[in-house]
Amino acid sequence: MVAPEIYRDRIWIDGCFDFAHHGHAGAMLQARQLGHSLYVGVHSDEEILENKGPVVMTLPERILAVEACKWATQAIPSAPYVTSPKVMDEYGCFYVVHGDDITTDANGEDCYRVVKNAGRFLVVKRTPNISTTDLVGRMLLCTKNHHIKAVSSENVEAALANARIGKPMDGLITPETIEKFRTYATGEDGKHPRDGVFIWTESSGENHDTGMLTTLVEPSPKFMQTHKRMIYVDGGFDLFFAGHIEFLRLASQSAADLSRAIANGTGTEIGIVVGIHSDATVNAFKPLNYPIMSLFERALCVLQCKFVSHVVLQAPYCPTQSFLDALPWDIDAVMHGPTRIDTEQEKGDPYAEVKRTGLYREIGDHKYKDISTETIVERVTRNRGVYEERQRRKGWKSDIENELKSQEESESS
């Protein structure tokens, strides 16, 4: 490959990207904010096994997740584990970006030592409290302390008001979560507002068919003006895997087809609004410690996806007409993927009402239809010993990486 001109605003980032969690998205967001375009190197399954341990997601699944991130320009398969300036040059990238931690190879050496010595390394803040290791740990230990209590209609406004003045709090609505939602709701440049973040709180009492929609992050007025119509989809979106991404891509494709059919030169576009169920709702239908990711974590995963326009947190299990009427858009369709709907639960078919109105549409089979949160967890538990060894190895490497970081900080001071 002939090397193009090297651009200082063409940024490189690389990694395993095992699980499409919001820590990975946060790194890509910060990298994208530093330049005009972002090229993402994704390590091969074999190199990750050699240097870190076995992957949970295959390379095609990891590439799909990276390509779905709205801040990524292009995914580069099988990028070297030790970052190579030569490979960066092939894509015209001068700088590589990484979090403020140290990553080591199988020999315990800094994976970015070459680019650091060449003055081509930029540091961004690492997202705390989330990693592939953390998620695998939740699966192996079946912990539930990551679950977040749902926000009630009685306290949503007070919580939001306190968050806006920076009052320290816990839960789904805090100064930190609102700021994170705001940054992940930016457009493709990672800088300017675009998407909206809303929360649905059901009315207290026996009538759960009514509720209130509250805005947590205001969408761009221009985006709202051009996207007055939406296709609604909902679900848990736990572990945000290839099946979710492919479903959202197909839903977005349907929205684009419908937009072309109705636009007639008006500039009207139809987007995708995603309703995400609360931790309690998911856990009611999937016991043990599901969801593996909290509502906050799942919302950020959905927000970073380029096929999504807006998200509604704590979306009702049954998208009733009263709920759809409360949304600030005209809903053209309610779509569901090829996964089985459990109609034997107490509430029956969650789409019964929208089916009667004629809004319901089903997206057919796709290549990732057989992947689910449960099958991903099974990948880990089926090879429990291997992944427990990976967790132990991660702890060993962490000691080395902390020592290298301390050395680096003392040398720079």
Q: Is 306 helix (H, G, I), strand (E, B) or coil?
A: coil
89 domain residue, yes or no? yes
Same domain, 44 and 179: no
Sheet holding 229-235, edge to edge: 211-217, 196-202, 310-313, 270-276, 229-235, 330-336, 360-362
Q: Are residues 352 and 216 in the same domain?
A: yes
Residue 377 located in a structural domain: no
Query: Contact, 258 vs 384, CB < 8 A?
Result: no
Supply the range of the domain harboring residue 200: 142-372
* CATH at residue 235: 3.40.50.620
Would residue 26 count as lying in a domain?
yes
Angstrom distance (rounded) from CA 315 to CA 278:
7
Residues 253 and 399 in one domain: no
Average pLDDT per block of 10 residues along the chain, 413 residues long? 79 92 92 97 96 90 97 98 96 95 89 96 85 83 92 93 91 95 97 98 69 96 94 96 96 92 72 98 91 95 97 97 96 91 71 96 91 90 75 55 58 62
The position carrying tokens 């740990």 is 137
Q: Report the pLDDT value the prediction gives residue 15, as an integer from 0 to 100.
A: 95
Q: Are residues 167 and 76 part of one domain?
A: no
396 and 360 housed in the same domain = no
Please tell me whether residues 214 and 341 are part of one structural domain.
yes
Q: pLDDT at position 127, please?
A: 79
Is 137 part of a structural domain of the chain? no
Q: What is the pLDDT of residue 393?
A: 63
Claim to verify: residue 148 and residue 275 sit in the same structural domain = yes
* H or E stretch at 110: none
Q: Which of 60, 50, 61, 51 is nearest to 20 (CA)?
A: 61
List residues bridging with 230 in a β-sheet. Answer: 271, 331
b/e map of 3-34 (b: 16 or more CB within 10 Å)? eeeeeeebbbbbbbbbbbbbbbbbbbbbbbbb
Domain match, 42 and 148 both? no
Measured torsion, CA atoms of residues 351, 355, 361, 362, in degrees rounded to the nearest 10: 50
- The pLDDT value given to residue 205: 58
Q: State the Cα–Cα distance between residues 62 and 17, nearest whole angstrom.
A: 6
Q: Is residue 242 in some structural domain? A: yes
Structure confidence at residue 267 (pLDDT): 62
Cα atoms in the 13 Å half-sphere on the side-chain side of 245: 25
Q: How many domains does the chain have?
A: 2
pLDDT of residue 183: 97
Our separate counts of H helices and E strands in the chain read 16, 12
pLDDT given at position 262: 77
262 and 300 part of one domain: yes
63 located within any domain? yes
Q: Provide the 3-class DSSP secondary structure of residue 57.
A: coil
CA separation for the pair 320, 334 (Å, rounded) = 11
381 found inside a domain: no
Inside any domain, residue 380: no
Q: pTM, whole model, 2 decimals?
A: 0.90
Q: Quick one: 216 and 124 in the same domain?
A: no
Residues 267 and 400 in one domain: no
The reply to whether 259 and 218 lie within a common domain is yes
